[in-house]
A and B are shown apart, each in its own frame.
Chain A
Amino acid sequence: MIIAQIVYSAKLMSPVQYSAVVAAIILATLVAPFLLRWTMNHVTRNQKDRSKVRPMSHD
């Protein structure tokens, strides 16, 4: 958002385009928590953990 403001104030973007960009940023930001919660619920519900990544052993 700040980048958008800087780009806008540096006159690299028209006002209409700027508000479109801000709208898209906010829409994506509104969707994000739903996505995160949904996917995290899925992860925690999945009892069997198929991830291969593990913390490196502590020396």
Chain B
Amino acid sequence: MELLGNLTLILLATTIVGHYSTRIGIPAVIGQLIVGIVLGPAMLGWLHLTHNLDSFAEIGVIVLMFIAGLESDLQLLKRYLKPSILVAVLGVIVPVLGTFAIGELYHLPFNESLFLSIIFAATSVSISVEVLKEMNALSSREGTTVLGAAVVDDVLAVIILSVVISTTGTSVSSGVSGNRLVTTILQVIYFAAIYFVVRWIAPYMAKIGDRLLIPMGQALMAMILCFGMAYVAELVGLSDVVGAFFAGIAVSQTPAKLTVDRHIEPVGYAVFIPVFFVSIGLNMDFDGLSKQLGFIVLLTVVAIASKLVGAGGGAKLAGFSWGSSAAVGAGMVSRGDDYRPNRLLG
């Protein structure tokens, strides 16, 4: 079975590379991304992003964000809501302007420049989550702000894309049936329902999990909540990882928190999460890139700088110190792990 061979290869490579990259002081996640680039189509061509691997990767990022929710501090997230909004909003505006300018510089048609700028406006924080977790800084003020901004960012992305699609008249196959107004109402209902999940459903499920006569009862109830909320988030046009993140927060408010954390982490880190990080590198392909070197370098520099300035500037405006603002900005730089097929289709 091809999948088993692929999994063996991925886990073997990420284990070895992760160990040695940590030893020389490089975040393990970088090693995992590089494993994907080296083993994938870009270099050796031993691994390809098959449907199976893609599914494993998606579960990986869902479990990762569930753990992030589980280990984050709800009270802190609430208190840092304003900085999070500032970070997310400015973290979208500056990259949009920056990359749009590049598009114009290269004389791309208006629509292409516009889409280019939207591509680089998105943030995916799962890599930052991993780095912050490695540093035990997930529930620091900076980590909390980055997580909060990621949630705000998801809402912004849905809004921006639906605006752009309706103004440019681009048709994109929609994962959500019905019109946009219905979708928006559903999304508002979803966010309202999160309150009920945190307040009543998650504690009730934790209580049942405690009484179940099967092993891993609490972890099972937590996974049901995690996948369920991720699924429904996707149904209403939000991203599944945001659903999983809220499921993690809901479980974190119950007495089952520590047990669930202890049981879910091995599942995530021993199978699915390494596949997710490797899969990002598998997207890389060097074909025909040498001709575009200037364009790529410029795009990369602007992609990094604009998030640093935009998101970091938002943090500074919210009253963070320069150093903390830079850390928040840096936490919003990564884009490549954007595993949210339905996030734009609202």
Contacts and interface: CB of A to CB of B under 8 A. Distances in A.
Interface of A: 1-4, 6-7, 10, 12-13, 15-17, 19-44, 46, 49-53, 55-56, 58
Given A12-B112, A13-B115, A19-B288, A3 B161 contact: yes
A2 B127 CA distance: 16
Contact of B127 (A7, A16, A29): A29
A2 B327 contact: no
In the complex, the 9 A-B pairs of residues with the closest C-beta atoms, listed nearest first:
A29-B336, A53-B319, A32-B334, A24-B299, A35-B330, A32-B333, A39-B327, A55-B79, A36-B330
B135 A20 contact: no
Contacts of B135: 37, 40-41, 44
Interface stretch (B227-235, B249-257, B290-298): B290-298
Range class of the B interface residue count: 35 or more
Contacts of B341: 2
B155 to A, nearest CB: 15
6 contacts: A2-B339, A13-B115, A16-B288, A21-B116, A23-B289, A43-B140
Interface stretch (B5-13, B25-33, B198-206): B25-33
Contacts of A56: 79
B280 interface: yes
A49 B323 CA distance: 10
B320 interface: yes
A38 B308 CA distance: 13
A2 to B, nearest CB: 5
A36 to B, nearest CB: 4
Interface in B294-346: 295-296, 299-300, 303-304, 308, 318-324, 326-327, 329-331, 333-341, 343-344
Contacts of B177: none
Contact of A16 (B283, B286, B292): B292
Contact of A19 (B33, B120, B285, B326): B285
Given A13-B112, A29-B280, A3 B29 contact: no
Given A19-B287, A51-B324, A55-B80, A28 B338 contact: no
Contacts of A42: 323, 326-327
B283 A33 contact: no
Most B C-beta atoms less than 10 A away, residue of A36, A42, A50: A36
Given A2-B343, A26-B37, A32 B128 contact: yes
B323 A34 contact: no
A34 B27 contact: yes
B326 A33 contact: no
Interface in B98-139: 111-112, 115-116, 118-120, 122, 127-128, 130-132, 135, 137
A36 B142 CA distance: 10
A2 B334 contact: no
A37 B336 contact: no
A1 B33 CA distance: 15
